[in-house]
Amino acid sequence: MQQAPTAGELPKLLRRDRMRDLRERAIGAALLTAAAVGALTTAGIILSLAGETIRFFGQVPIVDFFTETEWTPLFSIQKFGVWPLVSATVLTSAIALLLAVPVGLIAAIYLSEFATLHVRSLFKPMLEVLAGVPTVVYGFFALTVITPFLQGFVPGLSTFNALSAGFVMGVMIIPLVASLSEDALSAVPVSLREGAYAMGATRFEVATRVVFPAAISGVIASIILALSRAVGETMIVAIAAGMNPILSFDPRVPIETMTAYIVQISLGDTPYGSLSYLTIFAVGSTLFFMTFLMNVLSFWVVRRFREVYD
């Protein structure tokens, strides 16, 4: 160690404060712990899912899982084709998006480009309250209000069906699409809007030809986020869509989504560790993989279509 001759007489003010160094390090460690909770939980979920899923595929060939078209793990003749569950999830999510994307985007454009400050400050919180309604309430709303209502003019609509579950799920994710898209639209600089207005663009032309294209990456991200919310949604479909795993895209009949199946097995009397019990991990992994893919996709979309407008 090199020591300057004056080291012994270093003024007190300049000397390192050991206590403070320790304190800083302790604070750093505490913050790291908090940050690690989320990361470790994710890792734990993946590990436990993976372990049980591998055990499941030890007994059921993975090829059967993805090629069979029947799902009957609770019957005496067990079939493990996951497609009936996947198709149900896809169907209800598609119905939800069909409602939520147009309504949510129109609401976002209205709030960001047309509404006065007063209207916006009134509407946005109201919209966000929708997002706070517990999903079990939505589920009963679908079963006891929407289904009887739709039965009035949709012939052959069962008590449990994909249509009302998907519809109510759509209502549930409208605020997600509207609120996040509105944020993306509002983030487009005023200078771009002024440039368009100054060329004689109408409010509608400014919104659709300048602001919306400039915000497209945020808008797409909001839709993908809403989609993964719909895919993972459990309570509404478990209550209102039925527990009937059939491969069908008819929205009027009872079906069973992946999430609803997991609820059914978790709450039922399937013996722990049995093959039927292991199915929920295989289905859970599939679901996890689907939402993971969508998150990666949204990340990619945001980067790919990001238009740097500033």
Partner 1 sequence: MHHVTEETIEPRVAAGSSHPPRVRVGIPAPAVDEPIEHPAIEVRKLSLWYGPKRALGEIDLKIAAKKITSLIGPSGCGKSTLLRSINRMNELIPRVRTEGEVIVDGVNIYDRRVDPVVVRRSIGMVFQKPNPFPKTIYENVAFGARINGYGGSMDELVERSLRQAALWDEVKDDLKKKSGLALSGGQQQRLCIARALATSPDVILMDEPCSALDPIATQRIEDLMVELAREYTIVIVTHNMQQAARVADRTAFMLAGDDLVGRLVEYGLTDQIFTSPRDSRTEAYITGRFG
d(CA 265, CA 281): 11
Q: How many residues bind partner 1 (CB under 8 A)?
A: 23
Q: Could you tell me which stretch among 10-18, 170-178, 248-256, 302-310 binds partner 1 (CB under 8 A)?
A: 302-310
Nearer to partner 1, 148 or 195 (CB): 195
Q: 101 vs 7, 34, 120, 235, CA distance in Å? A: 70, 36, 20, 21
94 lies in the binding site for partner 1 (CB under 8 A): no
Beta bridge partners of 71: 80
Radius of gyration of the chain (CA): 26
Nearer to partner 1, 130 or 201 (CB): 201
Q: Which of 296, 259, 301 is nearest to 280 (CA)?
A: 259
Q: Which amino acid is at 147?
A: T
Nearer to partner 1, 51 or 213 (CB): 213
Q: Site for partner 1 (CB under 8 A): which residue of 79, 205, 234, 291?
A: 205
189 lies in the binding site for partner 1 (CB under 8 A): yes
194 lies in the binding site for partner 1 (CB under 8 A): yes
- Residue 106 CB, shortest distance to partner 1, in Å, is 21
303 lies in the binding site for partner 1 (CB under 8 A): no
Q: Site for partner 1 (CB under 8 A): which residue of 77, 117, 126, 267?
A: 117
State both tokens at 137: 């309430």
200 lies in the binding site for partner 1 (CB under 8 A): yes
309 lies in the binding site for partner 1 (CB under 8 A): yes
Nearer to partner 1, 128 or 307 (CB): 307
d(CA 125, CA 121): 7
State both tokens at 248: 């069908």
d(CA 91, CA 97): 10
| Helix 18-59 / helix 275-304 crossing angle, nearest 10 deg | 120
d(CA 65, CA 282): 9
195 lies in the binding site for partner 1 (CB under 8 A): yes
d(CA 206, CA 27): 49
d(CA 163, CA 176): 20
Torsion, CA 98, CA 104, CA 105, CA 111, rounded to 10: 160
196 lies in the binding site for partner 1 (CB under 8 A): yes
State both tokens at 60: 């059921």
Q: Site for partner 1 (CB under 8 A): which residue of 210, 226, 278, 282?
A: 210
Q: Could you tell me which stretch among 63-71, 178-186, 210-218, 264-272 binds partner 1 (CB under 8 A)?
A: 210-218
- Residue 302 CB, shortest distance to partner 1, in Å, is 15
Nearer to partner 1, 1 or 117 (CB): 117
Q: Which 237-296 residues touch partner 1, going by CB under 8 A?
A: none
- Residue 194 CB, shortest distance to partner 1, in Å, is 7
110 lies in the binding site for partner 1 (CB under 8 A): no
Chain residues in the site for partner 1 (CB under 8 A)? 116-117, 189, 191-202, 205, 209-210, 213-214, 307-309
